[in-house]
Structures are given as structure tokens and as C-alpha cells.
Amino acid sequence: MTKASLHLLKGAGYLVSTASAILLAIVSWKSAAQSPLLVACLLSGAAASIVGMLCRWLSYEIEKRQEEK
């Protein structure tokens, strides 16, 4: 497998994980909506998961660009 295809696979994995976090939040919304604290936890958790995946993806992007130099 080439470096480019590995890079695309990592990106696709992060997109799938992001979609998963969003879908799980949607499914949980009905029960969480009954409490402001649960809404805050649900939204914070989903956002933290997505931001974490974004940070990992950015680290791979930075590494890839540094290797290309």
C-alpha cells in the first residue's frame, strides 16, 4: 500500500468516526433533551470526539508535509 493510499485511508477512517459520533448523538438526543446537564454533556462529548479526530488528522497532515520536504 502506498503512502498516499494510507493517508486517504486514515482520512476516511476519521470521517467515518466523525459520522459515528454525530449519529450516536442524534440517537441519544431524545433522552438527553430532558435535562440541560445531559444536553451539555452530550454536545460536549460529541464535539470533543470530533475535535480529537480532527487533531489526529491534522497531525498526520503535518507529518506528511514534513516528509515531503
Secondary structure, 3-state, the chain: CCHHHHHHHHHHHHHHHHHHHHHHHHHHHHHHCCCHHHHHHHHHHHHHHHHHHHHHHHHHHHHHHHHHC
CA 65 to chain centre: 21
Domain that holds residue 35: 3-68
Q: Please give the pLDDT value at position 57.
A: 87
pTM of structure:
0.79
Amino acid type, 44? S
Q: Please give the pLDDT value at position 28.
A: 95
Per-residue pLDDT of the chain (69 residues; tens, 9 = 90+): 787 788 788 889 989 999 999 999 999 999 999 999 999 999 999 999 999 999 988 988 888 888 887
Domain count of the fold of the chain = 1
Amino acid type, 67? E
Q: Please give the pLDDT value at position 60.
A: 83
